[in-house]
Amino acid sequence: MNVINMRGIKRIYRLEEITVRALRGIDFSAGAGEFISVMGPSGSGKSTLMNILGCLDKPSEGTYCLDGVETTAAGGSDTFALIRNRKIGFVFQAFNLLPRTTALENVELPLSYNYKRGPDKDLRFRKARQRKERAAEVLREVGLGERLNHMPSQLSGGQQQRVAIARAMVNDPAFILADEPTGNLDTGMSLEIMSLFQSLNDSGKTVIMVTHEPELASYTKRVITLRDGELVSDVPVSGRRSAAEDLARWKQEHRFLAGEHEDAAS
């Protein structure tokens, strides 16, 4: 079953006397359990496509069906907000955590929103205790069971991104949409995050990641490439790499280099 079905997606911006055709008729589908990277040069339409995938913007033409919901027929900002909250888990380059709330409270927030909004409230989380238990469960899944009450400033960049991923997962969305999720991280932390995404994907979660780095795309299962607002390539990844194995090698190499520095200093 397809989680995403896009047909004939166009996005046209009219700025005074200038017409910008950001997307020129995109056809794109993603099945459950896929891990897809979206690539392309600056100005190719990646950001525009991401905004439409994330229901942050509507196409000028075409249809977008997300997990059985025809989003282009949805009316009003509240309806779009509910679709985003329940169907999509967002992970951004800048983490976007609330600085004065704990990891647990950051992850719990979408559950509160989900329960309070709409006629079909999620009654599983009507009690604060239920929301806290669910948030703690997801934080443990991303390896932060010992950091529940830490503030973002008390966490490393990689740990902050793990909190952001837990927040994206907490409502069990139809897919995770990650926009340059390792852009603010060093090599080791980037490999940790890609390993986590691969683990989530192996458990059945659909992940779509916007990136400009071919190395990161090599950890996904499929690569689509945009150019000048058109989808010019859609290919499976051959020889897919394991981020966990690359992370283990990276740690071993850095332990060796650290040992060399210690020997030289003694």
* pTM of the entire predicted model: 0.90
Q: What is the pLDDT of residue 122?
A: 57
Name the token pair of 137. Answer: 């469960």
Q: What is the pLDDT of residue 112?
A: 82
Main-chain dihedrals φ then ψ at residue 109, nearest 5 degrees: -55, -50
Domains and CATH numbers, the chain: 34-58+75-265 (3.40.50.300)
Q: What is the pLDDT of residue 266?
A: 42
Work out whether strand 88-92 and strand 175-179 pair parallel, antiparallel, or are unpaired: parallel
Residue 130: how many CB atoms within 10 A of its CB? 15
CA-to-CA distance for 212 and 40, rounded, in angstroms?
7
Q: What is the pLDDT of residue 81?
A: 85
* pLDDT tens, the chain, 266 aa long: 799 999 999 999 998 889 999 999 999 999 999 999 999 999 999 999 999 999 999 999 999 999 999 998 776 677 888 888 889 999 999 999 999 999 999 999 998 876 555 555 556 677 889 999 999 999 999 999 999 999 999 999 999 999 999 999 999 999 999 999 999 999 999 999 999 999 999 999 999 999 999 999 999 999 999 999 999 999 999 999 999 999 999 999 988 665 554 544 54
